[in-house]
Structure 1
């Protein structure tokens, strides 16, 4: 019988992406765009990480790109250095160091971590949601562990064991809820409303 060579598809994909990355890196990527990004893990990705992707990013493990506009999928996660706008879904993490605009969904198995100004229109859900800068969630912020959003205005619903927000227009539901300004209802074991008529209240707190 004739011997047949067995080709490892993952190894072939990695080799191809690496070769394409070298090719594109030789070009001036400043201001360069691509409609698609494919990644195993940096730097094994196409195009290189200094491109702006306007379409779809799909990462076998995780990817890193300058800007993403569109759909973002990662088996483990994805990192965006500057601007993200679109839908993000990952098995573990979504990390954005620039501005974030989540349109419909930002979903991660472990954490959504946004270090700059963030706007979520729809659902932000992970074990842990962290919005570090001035932000707004219009919809639902859901986390089994904690919503750490000290500079975030929530218009809708914030649900977690531990909730932290600047302003809440709607509901906070958890074991411990913190808001600087509450325009709605807090339901939890302990509820804090820094500038409300009841700064601390057990079980239920309300301000309108």
Structure 2
């Protein structure tokens, strides 16, 4: 009897948490269909969409997709911007990836504006406001980074290696070097 009560209680908690989430959503300016702040499945945004939490697949179509926390794959088959305020886990493939929180995964875009990336930024321009693990692009900037590969690379705190035409690292073996620069303690 006690085991069945535990199973019923756990199932109730799981189902009540899922009751507030939707499996599919269409976001347009000023409204979500269905009206839910939690998506576990597929979300489409057209022009502009705002949802608090999305897990699964997010497809911004000519849109700014505005999400607080995201886990999954965000892919814009057309012009799209992925704006994540909090935690991002997964793969972002957009014209612009604009992530203000902590990232774990891969960002692929023409421009990646990120904050704290424990993964890879792959874009023409990668600009980080805090820490970046790996940046590969034409222009890369991060206050602190482990690896940068590009034409122009810049950081205050290089923890590893830069490869590019112009490499600036305040703590590099020499602050500005062509081809390769690395941390003095590397």
- The residue number in structure 2 matching 1:42 is 29
- The residue number in structure 2 matching 1:118 is 102
Rounded to whole Å, the distance in 2 between the matches of 1:195 and 1:153 is: 16
Matches within 5 A, 1:131-146: 131=114, 133=115, 135-138=116-119, 140-144=120-124, 146=125
Deviation at 1:70, TM superposition (A): 1.8
- The residue number in structure 2 matching 1:10 is none
Is it true that 1:174 corresponds to 2:131 in the alignment?
no
Is it true that 1:148 corresponds to 2:134 in the alignment?
no
Q: Deviations over 1:68-102 (max 9, x none)?
A: 12211122234234222221111321112x21323
Distance 1:59 1:81, change over 3 A: closer
Rounded to whole Å, the distance in 2 between the matches of 1:82 and 1:203 is: 39
RMSD over aligned Cα, in angstroms?
Answer: 2.1
Rounded to whole Å, the distance in 1 between the matches of 2:93 and 2:21 is: 25
Matches within 5 A, 1:7-156: 32-39=20-27, 41-43=28-30, 45-48=32-35, 51-90=37-76, 91=78, 92-96=80-84, 98-103=85-90, 105-108=91-94, 110-115=95-100, 117-121=101-105, 123-131=106-114, 133=115, 135-138=116-119, 140-144=120-124, 146-154=125-133
Rounded to whole Å, the distance in 1 between the matches of 2:93 and 2:102 is: 14
- The residue number in structure 1 matching 2:9 is none
Residue from 132, 149, 163 that aligns with 1:187: 163
- Give the length in aligned residue pairs: 164
Indicate the structure with greater strand content: 2
Deviation at 1:46, TM superposition (A): 0.5
Gaps of 5+ in 2: 1-18
